[in-house]
């Protein structure tokens, strides 16, 4: 009897099944700690950064014989690694990566770290962010085109480092030269047999922090996309890798060598603070939980409404809902329960199943909602499909009124710097007016946080943030092929009516 195998599934979901939230691009992690189980430590670090990418995970470990062992595969960190694998990766320096695809599709050849050989030995590179001149860089590197094994911009950065080393440069100048060829967002960790490098692009679009294991001066260093990756292994936070900075941690040296490789104005992605990064991660000296509560307070002052309860859409809407409640005096309640075990590889229900009532991620609590005028706080609206279903579910659960408050301004422009926000023609706020969105979602009222309020809540210099997905002011120019791939509606006149 012939056995028929199923057709391979497409690696990128079709447009109407793409996630209706901005999706984070990656998490990077590195440990330089002779005498420690660096693979295990990196495993835990990646586990803490799992929210930044759930498609693939990988770790490369350097041992004392200048050998590098690499293990990477599709899936969550806990699916890709087990104790047997980690025990087969002894060494003193590890580079780790969690991936969500923004350039290059979701398949194992695009998993990171990227490991390449050079005349100085092998190196491993992990990248968070997105280049906006990848085509140009590929053209610059055309002599190695036949060697490319992936479709990612990260591999291009690695080949630029390899070329510079093989032309005679040492690691530090080679990495600087490669970084100088890149335009866009890139937070990088790069490991060699005896050195760890951490580097951020000139604007510092994606975060990167570092800390130490043991006592200061022990020379045991950890670099992580977010500080929650330090906390999980008991590492002490030392500092951010600054925008435009390269830090060289040399094995055997007590202090890292810090210097700028370029000098540009800081433009941290404000969406990291609103939504992507974990609430226990610290930015500008405080947890994002505190920032998000403050956002809720500003939102309450800007957009008050008469209601009986405030609920947050788990997880990132909850701190803002608590802040909204604190200012208005409207009681906070848990009205939505989230299933936390739905990853990107989870088989999604069909449209028919959804219409039949399958709710995979969020389930409303009728005991809390019935007969209540509800303020529901969410962090953002991208395409509106999830919000619309959520509102219908709240009404099904008995809510008498549903007032939606969004703890960010309207998303009117796509991101090109490492966040998957879909193209502009899929962004509901780029196409419809506030009144039209209100009607489309079926809410009694809808209001967004103002851009001024978002920055006020950050208590930081407003010019230090990238806010392009709210105002179209892109801090880094994109190549035309990149720009035209997503900006379908420019100039976005309708977006102006939301401000």
Catalytic residues: 26
Under the binding rule (CB under 6 A), the answer on residue 74 touching ligand SF4 is: no
Q: In what order do the strands lie in the sheet with 221-224?
A: 68-74, 56-62, 93-99, 26-32, 221-224, 209-212, 236-240
Binding part of the chain for ligand SF4, among 134-142, 224-232, 269-277, 319-327 by CB under 6 A, reads 269-277
Nearest distance, CB of residue 214 and ligand SF4, angstroms:
35
- When binding is defined by CB under 6 A, the residue of 61, 158, 270, 404 that contacts ligand SF4 is 270
417 binds ligand SF4 (CB under 6 A): yes
Verify binding: residue 275, ligand SF4, rule CB under 6 A. Answer: no
Q: One symbol per residue from 369 to 408: x for binding ligand SF4 (CB under 6 A), - otherwise; what is it?
A: ----------------------------------------
Asked if 295 touches ligand SF4 (CB under 6 A), the answer is no
**Coil vs helix vs strand at 261:** coil
**Site membership for ligand SF4, residue 467 (CB under 6 A):** yes
Task: Report the alpha-carbon distance of residue 172 to residue 254 in Å, rounded.
Answer: 18
State in angstroms the smallest separation of the CB of 267 from ligand SF4.
8
- For ligand SF4, which stretch binds (CB under 6 A), given 172-180, 225-233, 264-272, 336-344? 264-272
Give the DSSP letter string of 395-415: HHTT-SEEEEEESS----S--
Q: In the 8-state DSSP scheme, what is residue 82?
A: -
Determine if 415 is a binding residue for ligand SF4 (CB under 6 A): yes
419 binds ligand SF4 (CB under 6 A): yes
466 binds ligand SF4 (CB under 6 A): yes
Interface size with ligand SF4, residues (CB under 6 A): 11
Helix axes 385-396, 434-441, angle to 10 degrees: 50
* Of 188, 269, 309, 313, the one binding ligand SF4 by CB under 6 A: 269
- Which of 383, 340, 375, 378 is CA-nearest to residue 360? 340
Residues sharing a CB contact under 8 Å with residue 431, sequence separation 6 or more, in sequence order: 425, 489, 494
Q: What is the DSSP letter of 276?
A: I
Verify binding: residue 468, ligand SF4, rule CB under 6 A. Answer: yes
Contact letters (x/-) for ligand SF4, 142-181, by CB under 6 A?
----------------------------------------
In angstroms, the first-to-last Cα distance of the chain is: 64
Q: Please pick, from the candidates 271, 283, 291, 332, the single residue that binds ligand SF4 as defined by CB under 6 A.
A: 271
Query: How far from 477 is each of 130, 131, 413, 466, CA to CA, in Å?
Result: 13, 11, 14, 13
> Using the rule CB under 6 A, is 424 a contact of ligand SF4?
no
Contact 94, 364 (CB under 8 A): no
Question: Does residue 249 bind ligand SF4 (CB under 6 A)?
Answer: no
**Which residues, 6+ apart, have CB-to-CB distance to 108 below 8 Å?**
56, 72, 73, 74
In this complex, which beta carbon is closest to ligand SF4, that of residue 231 or of residue 422?
422
**In the complex, which residues of this chain contact ligand SF4 (CB under 6 A)?**
205, 269-271, 415, 417, 419, 466-469
């Amino acid at each position: 009897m012939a056995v028929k195998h199923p057709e391979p599934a497409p690696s990128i979901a079709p447009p109407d099944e793409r996630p209706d939230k901005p999706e984070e691009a990656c998490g990077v992690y590195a440990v330089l700690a002779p005498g420690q189980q660096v693979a295990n430590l990196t495993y835990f670090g990646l586990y803490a950064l799992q929210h930044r990418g759930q498609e693939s995970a990988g770790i490369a470990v350097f041992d004392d014989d200048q050998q590098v062992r690499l293990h990477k595969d599709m899936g969550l960190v806990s699916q890709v690694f087990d104790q047997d694998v980690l025990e087969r990766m002894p060494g003193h320096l590890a580079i780790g990566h969690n991936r969500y695809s923004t350039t290059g599709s979701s398949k194992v050849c695009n998993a990171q770290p990227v490991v390449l050989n050079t005349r100085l030995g092998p190196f491993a590179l992990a990248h968070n962010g997105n280049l906006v001149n990848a085509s140009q860089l590929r053209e610059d590197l055309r002599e190695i085109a036949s060697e490319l094994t992936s479709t990612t911009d990260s591999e291009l950065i690695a080949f630029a480092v390899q070329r510079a080393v093989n032309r005679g440069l040492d690691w530090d100048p080679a990495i600087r030269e490669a970084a100088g060829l890149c335009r866009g967002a890139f937070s990088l960790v790069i490991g060699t047999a005896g050195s760890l490098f951490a580097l951020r692009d000139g604007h510092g679009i994606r975060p990167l922090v570092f800390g130490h294991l043991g006592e200061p001066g022990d020379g045991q260093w950890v670099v992580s996309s977010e500080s929650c990756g330090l906390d999980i292994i008991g590492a002490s936070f030392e500092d951010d890798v600054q925008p435009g900075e390269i830090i060289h941690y040399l094995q055997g040296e007590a202090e890292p060598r810090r210097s700028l490789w370029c000098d540009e104005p800081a433009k941290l992605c404000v969406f990291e603070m609103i939504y992507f990064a974990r609430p226990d991660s610290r930015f500008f000296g405080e947890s994002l939980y505190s920032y998000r509560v403050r956002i809720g307070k500003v939102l309450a002052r800007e957009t008050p409404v008469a209601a009986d309860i405030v609920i947050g859409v788990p997880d990132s809407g909850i701190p803002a809902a608590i802040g909204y409640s604190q200012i208005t005096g409207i009681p906070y309640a848990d009205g939505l329960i989230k299933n936390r075990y739905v990853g990107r590889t989870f088989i999604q229900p069909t449209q028919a199943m959804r219409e039949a009532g399958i709710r995979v991620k969020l389930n409303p609590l009728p005991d809390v909602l019935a007969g209540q005028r509800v303020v529901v706080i969410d962090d953002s609206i991208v395409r509106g499909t999830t919000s619309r279903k959520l509102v219908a579910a709240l009404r099904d659960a008995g809510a008498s009124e549903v007032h939606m408050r969004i703890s960010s301004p309207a998303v009117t422009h796509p991101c090109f710097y490492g966040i998957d926000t879909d193209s502009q023609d899929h962004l509901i706020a780029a196409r419809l007016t506030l009144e039209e969105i209100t009607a489309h979602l079926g809410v009694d009222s809808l209001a967004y946080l103002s851009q001024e309020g978002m920055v006020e809540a950050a208590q930081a210099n407003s010019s230090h943030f990238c806010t392009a997905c709210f105002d179209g002011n892109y801090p880094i120019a994109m190549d035309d092929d990149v720009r035209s791939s997503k900006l379908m509606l420019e100039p976005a006149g309708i977006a102006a009516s939301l401000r």
